[in-house]
Each structure stands twice: as C-alpha cells, then as structure tokens.
Amino acid sequence: MPKTKTLPYLEALFSVIVWGASFIATKIAVGQVSPVAVVWIRFSIGLPILFLAVFMRRQFALPKKDEWLYFALLGFIGIAFHQWLQSNGLITAQATTTAWIITTTPAFIAALGWLVLKEKLTAVQFFGIALATLGVLVVVGKGNPASLAAGKFGAIGDLLILISALNWAVFSTLSRRGLRERPSAMLTLWVMTFGWLFTSVAFFASRGYAEIPALDSRGWQALIYLGVFTTGLAYIAWFDALAQLPAAQTGAFLFIEPLSSMAVAAVVLNEAVTLASVFGGAVIILGIWLVNRKG
C-alpha cells in the first residue's frame, strides 16, 4: 500500500466499522425512547459537526433556486423516512441480521438502474442479484427454508429493514444528478438538514421531547455515538476517502460493515453468531461482488 494512500484507506476502514456498530447503538437507543426521538437527537448532535467540517473546508453554499425542493425530497427519502424504517425495524430485528440485509443495497441499485434508467445488466449481474436475494432469505429465515415457504419473513423488523435497503437504493438513484453538480459533503449536509427538519415536525408533534428523561447513561452513550461518530466523523472520513480513492476501491470497504456489526453485536448485545448468518452473509457478499464486477 503506497504511503500516500494509507490515510484514505484508514479513513474508509474507520467509516465502515463505525457504521457497522451503529446498528447496535440504534438498537440500544430504541429500547429506551421512540424511533423518532432517536433519529432527532442523533442528527441534532451530528449536524453541527458536519456544518463545521463543510465551513472549515470552504465548501459551504446555499442551494440554488431550483435545488431547494430537490434537496428536500432527498432529505425526506434518505434521512427522515430511511432512518424511521431502520429505527423501527431494529426494535424487533437483530442488529446482525439488519447489517446483512443492508448489504444488499447495491443489488437494489443495480436492479433499479436496469428497470428505471434502462442500464444494461449482464447475465452474471442478474445471477449476483439472485444470489444476494437467496442470502437474505437464508439470514432472515435463520437457515429454515420451511418458515419462509410458510410465508413467515422473519420478524416484522426484518421486513422494515429490507424496505429500507430498497428505499436507500431509490435515494441513491435520485442523488446521482446532485452528486454530479455538487461536492458530496455539501449535498449530504443539506440532505441531512432537510431530513432533520422533517423529523423535527414528527418529534415535536408526538411530544418526543418528553421521552428524553427516560434515557439512562447507556442510552445517551448510544446516541452520542450515533451523533458524533456515525452521523458526523464517519461521513467526513468517508468523503475524504472518496476524494482520494477510486469509487470501486472505496465501495469494497462496505463489505466489512456487517462483519463489524456481527462482532460488536456478539459482545454488546450477546447476539449469537449462527451458521445461517455466516453462510447467508457470505452468499450476499458473493452476489454483491458479482453485481459490481466489471467485465
């Protein structure tokens, strides 16, 4: 590894490990307060860090006149609705299962690109999507195909997490135009800001602020982790890595995310590392690798 590339590689590794552990922190937090409160507090902590980073890098700018509605749409889909799905899903879904399901997002992106944008998919990529789907079924069915055949798709949280993976694919597809015209950190800042504003409406309308006293030290530790590390520092590090490494190399680090979740969940939440989750996860990773394989 060239010396000049050491820092961006470490930044990419830092980001995916932090994001992998975020599912465990979210699961702890939603055990004490509502999902809306978790999302609002998390972004209330993380947004100032992102604002500071963008200002220090002299990348801050107001959206153009025709961008306000676009950023608002992305903020609703990619932040408010997406985080609502994941936070509610983690009430019943295991953190490890969640991480493996989220890994299928590139397959959804490829499928949407084929269906909506008329992008070509090879036979190998179609096979990769099928493999990733099979891996999800193994993970949520906990290795018991009979339960899936009977129409039981794991916990209700598993289904919400799967919808969140599809939702993130929709968000990523819609974000392509903005990423071509704006720095990624700038786009993310405004998308998160609008998402936080939408969540604020739900937070105050449901009197979520009344739940805050219910948080104990463990709950606050989880929320501070989500705000400072997951929403703030990890995104900054990821953007630094993206600016210095090829997208394919940076994206490959995302395969580490579910492994981070599995390790942290085993230690913090005592979630069992089962053969079904390991095998299903391996099948998902193989499928996603085939989807992103060039040539």
- pLDDT digits over 121-156, tens only? 788 888 888 888 788 777 776 666 555 554 455 578
Q: For the chain, what percent of residues have pLDDT higher than 70? A: 89
Residue range 258-267, pLDDT digits in tens:
888 888 888 8
The residue assigned the tokens 């979520």 is 208
Structural domain of residue 173, as residue ranges?
A: 3-292
Between residues 262 and 82, the one the model is more confident about: 82
Asked whether the beta carbons of 245 and 5 are under 8 A apart, the reply is: yes
Between residues 78 and 243, the one the model is more confident about: 78
What is the spatial distance between Cα 146 and Cα 34, in angstroms, rounded to a whole number? 34
What is the spatial distance between Cα 205 and Cα 184, in angstroms, rounded to a whole number? 32
The pTM of this model reads 0.81
What is the spatial distance between Cα 18 and Cα 229, in angstroms, rounded to a whole number? 7
Q: Longest Cα pair distance anywhere in the chain, in angstroms?
A: 56
pLDDT at site 249: 62
Angle, vertex CA 268, rays to CA 91 and CA 208, nearest 5: 40
Whether 252 has a pLDDT exceeding 60, the answer reads yes
Asked whether the beta carbons of 143 and 279 are under 8 A apart, the reply is: yes
Please state the length of the chain. 295
Residue range 14-59, pLDDT digits in tens:
988 999 899 999 999 999 999 999 999 999 999 999 999 888 888 8
Number of domains, the chain:
1
Assign 1 a pLDDT band (cuts: 50, 70, 90).
Answer: very low
pLDDT at site 294: 60
What is the spatial distance between Cα 279 and Cα 154, in angstroms, rounded to a whole number? 17
Select from 253, 288, 226, 246 the least CA-distant residue to 40. 226
CB neighbours of residue 228 within 10 Å: 16
